[in-house]
Structure 1
C-alpha cells in the first residue's frame, strides 16, 4: 500500500509484456496519459483497443502506441507526445546473451539518447534480483556485491550503471524485481498441477517473490519522484524456500505434497544456468524510501487471492 500522492500527468512505457501492459492499464485507469513502445504488432493492437475502451469509459486518458525495436533509434521521431516520466520494463528479446544485450543494454542506451531531447522528470527501470550471486542463505540488501553475477546479470548491472551515470535526469530509480507472479502468471501452480508428485530440482533454495500488483504500486511510488535516486529491491516481506511454497499450494489445491528430485533439472532452470542462488533479499530500503508496503506481504496472501481462498 502507498500514500495518496500525485502521479505524473504522462508516462511512456518501454516494453509492454506482462508487466508493462498491466502498468499501462493501471495508469490509464488513473487518468494518466500513456505512451507505449512494443516490438510486437499483436501486442500493439491489443494496447490500442485497451486505450480506446478506457478512453470511452473514463473520457480522460488516451494511449499512444509505437511499434519498433527498442535498441534502434528509428522510433525516436515517431513519438508524438511529450512525457513527464519514463518506465523501462523491457524483457529479454530472446536469443540468450545477445537478447539481453539488445533489450537491456542497447535498449537503455537508445532511451537515454531519446531522453536528451525531452524534459523527463523521473525514470524508472525494472531490473532483477538475479544480479545477486550470493549463495550462503543470508539476508542481503542493495549493498551486496554483484561482481559475481552470471553473464546475464552482468548485462543488467551494465544497464543499471548506464542509467545511474546519466546526467540528464532529475530523478532515476532502478527497481530490482524478485520473482514475479500474479494473474495470468502461474508457473509454480502449473508445475505442481502437472508434477504428478515429483518436481525437478531442489526445494531447499530461497524464493524471493513479488506479486504483479505490488510491482505496479512500487513503480507508482517511484514515479512520485520524492525518494532519492538509487537502486531498490522490490520483493515481498517474507522470503521463503520453494518447498514451503510448493507444500502450501499443493494443500490449497488438494493435491499430494510434491517431492523434489535434485537429479532432474527443469528446462526453465537450464536456461538459468542449472541452479538458483540461495539468498534472501530485503525490501527494507524501498519500504522506507517510498513509504511503500506490499499488499501481499507473503506468498500465502498472494496465492490465496489467485486461488480465491
Structure 2
C-alpha cells in the first residue's frame, strides 16, 4: 500500500521505517531539512513540510498520491494558536480527500475523555477539558464525517519508549499532587503494532484507544520507576482522596485488532 505519514518524528519515524520494511511504499514529512535527513537515513522517502505550508506545492505530490494518510501532528503546547492550528488541520484533511486519499488514520489522545474518575471505553462520551483535547474532538468528528468508514481515530494514552519515560521529567520534583490517581501509559512499539494491524487487516471504520492493561497509582509507579532508573525519587503531597481518575479500558481495541500488548504493564516499560 502507498502510505503517507504527516509527522515523521518520535512516533512517525519508527512507524515509517517499520511499514517500509513490511513492504509498504512509504513517504513521511518533517518540518526541517535535518528531520528529512533523519528519515532518509533509515531509507524512508521524505519531504519537508510544516503545517500551514501551501498544500499545492509540487513536492507534496507523493504525499497526496498515497492510498492511506496517517496524520500525526499534535498541537504545540508553547506556541499554540488554536484557531490557526484548527484551520490548517482542516485544510490538510479536506485537501487529502479532494486529492483522492482513500483512507485516513488520525492519531488522537485519550485526553478527550477528560479527567473524571471513571472507566472509559472506546464508545464512552468524550468530555474534553483542555484546549488541545477540544481541538482533537473537533478534528475527529470532521474526519469521521468526511472519510466515514474509511477512517480510524486512534486515541493514545501517555506515550513511552526506551528514550522517553515520564519518570525522568518527574524525578526529584516536590509537592506533586494527585498521587492517588492511576497512570495510563502505552509503549510506542505497541502503537506501531496496532497501526500495522489496522492496515494489514483492514480494520477501518472504528475509534480505537490504547493503554497498558495495568493502572498503578502515580505515586507508587513513579516512585518505583525512579528507583529502578536510579533517579532521585519524586515527592507527592499526601492525599486521602479516593479519586483515582480515569482508567482506559482497551479490551475492545485489543480484541478487534487481535493485538497482544508487548508491554501490558507500565512496569514492563521501565528500562
TM range (shorter): 0.7 to 0.9
Report SS of the residue matched to 2:61. coil
* TM-score of the pair, normalised by structure 1: 0.76
In the alignment, the residues of structure 2 paired with residue 22 and residue 142 of structure 1 have an alpha-carbon distance, to the nearest angstrom, of: 26
Change in Cα spacing, 1:72 to 1:17, as seen in structure 2 (3 Å) is same
* Alignment partner of 1:11 out of 3, 8, 12: 3
Matched, 1:67 2:48: yes
2:180 aligned residue: 204
Change in Cα spacing, 1:189 to 1:64, as seen in structure 2 (3 Å) is same
Where does 1:1-309 land on structure 2 (aligned, <5 Å)?
9-51=1-43, 63-74=44-55, 77-81=58-62, 82-98=65-81, 100-103=82-85, 106-120=88-102, 122-136=103-117, 138-167=118-147, 171-192=150-171, 195=172, 198=174, 200-224=176-200, 226-253=202-229, 258-261=234-237, 278-303=245-270, 307=271
Report SS of the residue matched to 1:18. coil
In the alignment, the residues of structure 1 paired with residue 156 and residue 226 of structure 2 have an alpha-carbon distance, to the nearest angstrom, of: 26
In the alignment, the residues of structure 2 paired with residue 228 and residue 29 of structure 1 have an alpha-carbon distance, to the nearest angstrom, of: 22
Report SS of the residue matched to 1:11. strand
Root-mean-square deviation (Å): 2.7
Shift of 1:262: 7.1
In the alignment, the residues of structure 1 paired with residue 153 and residue 257 of structure 2 have an alpha-carbon distance, to the nearest angstrom, of: 13
Kept after mapping to 2: 8 A contact 1:91/1:104: no
Change in Cα spacing, 1:224 to 1:205, as seen in structure 2 (3 Å) is same
In structure 1, stretches of 5+ residues that fail to align are: 1-8, 52-62, 264-275
In the alignment, the residues of structure 1 paired with residue 4 and residue 216 of structure 2 have an alpha-carbon distance, to the nearest angstrom, of: 35
In structure 2, stretches of 5+ residues that fail to align are: none
Shift of 1:96: 4.9
* TM-score of the pair, normalised by structure 2: 0.86
Change in Cα spacing, 1:157 to 1:66, as seen in structure 2 (3 Å) is same
